[in-house]
Amino acid sequence: MRDAYQDQLDELAESLAAMCTQVASAMEKATRALLEADLQLAEEVISEDALVDDTRAAAEENAFALLALQAPVATDLRIVVSAIHGAGDIERMGDLALHVAQAARRRHPQPVLPAEVAPYFSEMGRVGVALAIKAGEVIRTRDLARANELETDDDAMDDLHKHMFSVLMDRDWAHGVGPAVDITLLARFYERYADHAVAVARRIVYVVTGQMPGPLTV
């Protein structure tokens, strides 16, 4: 019985790690759709988001069943509670990738981004995808050093995010209000995506240490 229980805990963690892979792929494709005005890729991200939602619902049901049937305590209980939180964070990452894809679709066949800001979004996409992949690794390995790395990696996203605003607010901005509004929201989506990846890693720190790291500044 104990073995089946451990298997269930492992499966719960594995389903969350798999969600990280799903939303990393979604953000990778959404960013490409955005940069290349690729409608088909945008549609792919939009239709695949339901899979993330399904995985989240299944993970929550499994967590609930574990609580009801196994009444876990201590570390095991922290694993289940953190999985409940983590599933929510990762589903939200999927939603944010979806929003990026929707922006690409909304403006198609026009590109959303003026050429001069595209490189920043390419970089925000790269950082975001790397954070999602690393969050999945942290879920699998519970490696605290790796978990802490996400905080630093997220600083790069925050810098890109801040920099985008200075570009928009610059007198030389020549693209008017419409693109500025799109870019404001898109930059926010990437920044929030990264914050949720950090939150997932922080919950793993809590699983291992029993302590939540200090508050994430958002």
The residues of the shown chain that bind a second copy, judged by CB under 8 A, are: 53, 57, 63-64, 67-68, 71, 73-74, 77-78, 81, 84-85, 88, 95, 165, 168-169, 173, 176-178, 180-181, 184-185, 188, 212, 215, 218
At its nearest, how many Å lie between a second copy and the CB of residue 43?
17
Tokens of 157: 């996203």
Angle, helices 177-209 vs 118-141, to 10°: value is 20
Please give the angle made by the CA atoms of 113, 114 and 118, to the nearest 5 degrees: 65
At its nearest, how many Å lie between a second copy and the CB of residue 18?
20
Given the complex with a second copy, which of 156 and 168 has the nearer CB atom?
168
Please give the angle made by the CA atoms of 184, 186 and 190, to the nearest 5 degrees: 115
The CA-based dihedral angle spanning residues 66, 72, 74, 75, taken in that order and rounded to the nearest 10 degrees: -40
Given the complex with a second copy, which of 7 and 212 has the nearer CB atom?
212
Given the complex with a second copy, which of 130 and 198 has the nearer CB atom?
198
Alpha helix ranges (H) inside 37-73: 39-70
| In the block, residue with structure tokens 């695949």 | 48
Cβ neighbours of residue 60 closer than 8 Å, sequence gap 6 or more: 84, 87
Given the complex with a second copy, which of 145 and 177 has the nearer CB atom?
177
Given the complex with a second copy, which of 19 and 63 has the nearer CB atom?
63
